[in-house]
C-alpha cells in the first residue's frame, strides 16, 4: 500500500486539526512535555496524585491522611489488589467524577474475571501521547502516516475499529489522513485463515505489523512449516501477551524484521516499550512502576518480583500500588540514548508461574522450553490444577513421539517433584481466552 500524497495529507490534517483542535492539540502538547520531562517533573506527578487522592478519593482520604503518606514513604502504602478494588469500588471514585469526562473500562480478564475501572479524558490523552512517544521515539514511525496490518484477537476492538456505517465528517477525514489499517482477526485462526492472512500481508505490504505475540508466532510457524514467502515490514510491534524467547526468534527469522515489544493493559494503559537495543523502557511519566518480593519489599535490579503500577494521570479512579498480576525484573540503564529506567524482562503473569508444595515458584518459561523443537506438536498448554497435578493439552501433527513425551514428563518432575502426576490430553484445539489468546502455561494453584 502506498502512502497518501503529502499535499493531500497536509490539507486533510489542517482541517482535521480544526475539527479536533482541543484533543489533538493537547496530545501533541503532552508529547512535547514527555520529550522534555526531567526526573523532578516526573516525580511531581506522583506527589500531585497523592495530594489529590488524599483530598478527593474517599478510600485514600482515610488511608493516606491517617498515616501521613507522601512520595518519600510511598513504598509503605498498602498494595491495591483486584479484590480490594471490587470491594471498595464506590469509595475509589473521585468526588469530582461528574466533571471529569469519565467512562468505564475493564481489564482483559485473560486468566480470570475482568476488573472494571473508571478512567477519564485526561487519562486517555496521556495514554495516547505515551503511545505516540513509543511510535515516534522507539519505532521511528509516524502512526497516522504508516500502512499497518493489525493481527488482533479482541472482537470488541476489531468491531470498534472497523465499523464503517454512518461515518461523520471527522471520521471520513481521519480515514484520509490515516492509510487504511487492515485488521485480521486472530480470535480463531484456521489453516484457511492463515493462508488468507499471508496473502493479505503480501498484498498490503504494510510498513508496520502489530499483533498479539502468540498470534504472530502461530502465523510465523505456519509460514515456515509450509515454506511460504511473506512480506518483511519495517517494524513489528507485539503486545498483549508475554513474548517468550522462542516466539521472538521464530517471528524475527520468518519476517526478517526486529520485534519491538510493548507492555500495557486496559486498566492502566502504556507501561513500557522496547528500544532498538532490546531493553524495555518504563514510561515513568505515565505510570509509576515498582517490583516487589513476596514480602512486598522492593527488589534489586536483576531480581524477579511482582509488578505494582500507580496510574499517574487517572484522577477519576487512581490505582495506587496496584498489583497488576505480572512479574518482572528491573534492569540497568540502557545505552540506546533514552534516560528512562528499564525492565530487564517481563517474566510473565503471576499465573504463568507454577507453585510447589514447598512454596517455590517455577517460571512458566521452564515448561514452554520443554516443547521447543517438538515437531509433532502444533499447539500446547501446560495447566497446573493442584500442587502435584499437571495436565498437558496438545494438538498433534502426525503421531506423538513417546520418547519425547517421557522426556518432557521427566523434566517437569525435576521441577515439580517426582510425585507429580502428569496427564496428556490430545485435543483438536487448545482453548483460547475470551480475547483470543493462547496461554502456554497456567496455574490454578493460589500463591
In DSSP terms, 263 is beta-bridged to 272
The rounded distance, in Å, linking the Cα atoms of 200 and 206 is 10
Q: At residue 155, does pLDDT exceed 50?
A: no
Q: What is the pLDDT of residue 284?
A: 96
> Is the pLDDT reported for residue 172 higher than 70?
no
Instruction: Decide which of 114 and 136 is more confident.
Output: 136
239: which strand partners? Answer: 212
Report the candidate in 361, 12, 299 with the shortest Cα–Cα distance to residue 179: 12
Distance CA 387, CA 76 (A): 32
Distance in angstroms (rounded) separating the CA atoms of residues 283 and 341: 8
Cell 522496547 belongs to 274
Mean pLDDT throughout 302-316? 94
pLDDT: which is higher, 6 or 409:
409
- Report the share of the chain in percent with pLDDT over 70: 83
Distance (Å, rounded) from C-alpha 355 to C-alpha 62?
A: 36
Residue 428, pLDDT > 70, answer yes
Percent of the chain with pLDDT over 90: 54
Quickly count: other Cβ atoms within 10 Å of residue 119's Cβ. 25
Please choose, from the candidates 144, 154, 139, the residue with its C-alpha nearest in 3D space to the C-alpha of residue 237. Answer: 139
97 pLDDT higher than 80: yes
Q: Which domains does the chain have, with CATH numbers?
A: 21-351 (3.40.50.12780), 353-443 (3.30.300.30)
For residue 193 the three cell numbers come to 485463515
User: d(Cα 330, Cα 196) in Å, to the nearest integer?
Assistant: 40
Q: What are the residues whose beta carbons fall under 8 Å from the beta carbon of 37, sequence distance 6 or more? A: 285
pLDDT at 18: 45
Residue 347 has pLDDT above 90, yes or no: no
The arithmetic mean of pLDDT across residues 166-194, rounded, is 64
Amino acid at each position: 500500500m502506498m502512502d497518501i500524497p503529502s499535499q493531500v495529507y497536509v490539507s486533510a490534517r489542517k482541517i482535521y486539526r480544526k475539527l479536533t483542535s482541543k484533543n489533538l492539540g493537547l496530545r501533541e502538547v503532552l508529547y512535547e512535555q514527555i520529550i522534555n520531562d526531567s526526573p523532578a517533573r516526573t516525580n511531581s506527578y506522583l506527589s500531585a496524585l497523592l495530594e489529590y487522592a488524599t483530598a478527593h478519593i474517599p478510600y485514600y482520604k482515610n488511608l493516606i491522611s491517617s498515616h501521613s503518606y507522601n512520595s518519600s514513604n510511598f513504598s509503605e502504602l498498602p498494595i491495591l489488589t483486584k479484590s480490594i478494588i471490587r470491594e471498595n469500588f464506590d469509595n475509589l471514585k473521585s468526588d469530582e467524577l461528574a466533571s471529569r469526562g469519565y467512562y468505564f473500562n475493564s481489564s482483559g480478564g485473560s486468566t480470570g474475571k475482568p476488573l472494571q475501572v473508571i478512567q477519564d479524558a485526561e487519562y486517555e490523552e496521556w495514554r495516547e501521547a505515551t503511545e505516540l512517544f513509543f511510535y515516534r521515539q522507539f519505532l521511528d514511525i509516524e502512526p497516522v502516516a504508516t500502512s499497518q496490518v493489525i493481527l488482533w484477537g479482541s472482537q470488541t476492538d476489531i468491531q470498534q475499529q472497523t465499523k464503517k456505517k454512518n461515518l461523520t465528517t471527522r471520521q471520513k477525514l481521519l480515514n484520509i489522513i490515516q492509510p487504511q489499517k487492515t485488521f485480521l482477526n486472530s480470535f480463531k485462526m484456521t489453516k484457511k485463515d492463515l493462508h488468507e492472512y499471508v496473502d493479505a500481508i503480501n498484498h498490503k505490504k504494510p510498513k508496520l505489523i502489530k499483533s498479539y505475540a502468540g498470534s504472530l508466532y502461530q502465523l510465523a510457524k505456519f509460514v515456515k512449516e509450509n515454506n511460504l514467502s511473506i512480506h518483511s515490514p519495517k517494524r513489528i510491534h507485539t503486545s498483549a501477551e508475554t513474548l517468550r524467547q522462542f516466539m521472538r526468534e521464530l517471528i524475527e527469522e520468518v519476517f526478517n524484521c526486529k520485534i519491538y515489544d510493548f507492555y500495557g493493559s486496559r486498566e492502566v494503559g502504556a507501561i513500557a516499550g522496547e528500544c532498538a537495543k532490546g531493553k524495555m523502557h518504563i514510561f515513568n511519566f505515565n505510570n509509576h512502576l515498582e517490583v516487589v518480593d513476596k514480602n512486598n519489599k522492593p527488589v534489586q535490579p536483576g531480581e524477579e518480583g511482582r509488578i505494582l503500577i500507580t496510574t499517574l494521570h487517572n484522577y477519576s479512579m487512581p490505582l495506587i500500588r496496584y498489583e497488576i498480576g505480572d512479574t518482572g525484573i528491573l534492569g540497568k540503564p540502557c545505552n540506546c540514548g533514552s534516560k528512562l529506567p528499564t525492565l530487564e524482562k517481563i517474566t510473565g503473569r503471576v499465573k504463568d508461574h507454577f507453585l510447589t508444595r514447598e512454596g517455590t515458584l517455577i517460571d512458566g518459561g521452564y515448561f514452554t522450553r520443554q516443547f521447543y523443537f517438538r515437531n509433532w506438536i502444533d499447539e500446547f498448554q501446560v495447566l497446573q490444577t493442584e500442587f502435584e497435578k499437571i495436565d498437558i493439552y496438545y494438538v498433534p501433527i502426525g503421531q506423538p513421539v513417546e520418547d519425547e513425551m517421557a522426556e518432557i514428563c521427566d523434566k517437569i518432575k525435576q521441577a515439580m517433584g517426582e510425585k507429580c502426576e502428569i496427564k496428556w490430553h490430545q485435543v483438536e484445539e487448545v482453548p483460547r481466552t475470551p480475547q483470543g489468546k493462547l496461554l502456554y502455561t497456567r496455574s490454578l494453584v493460589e500463591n
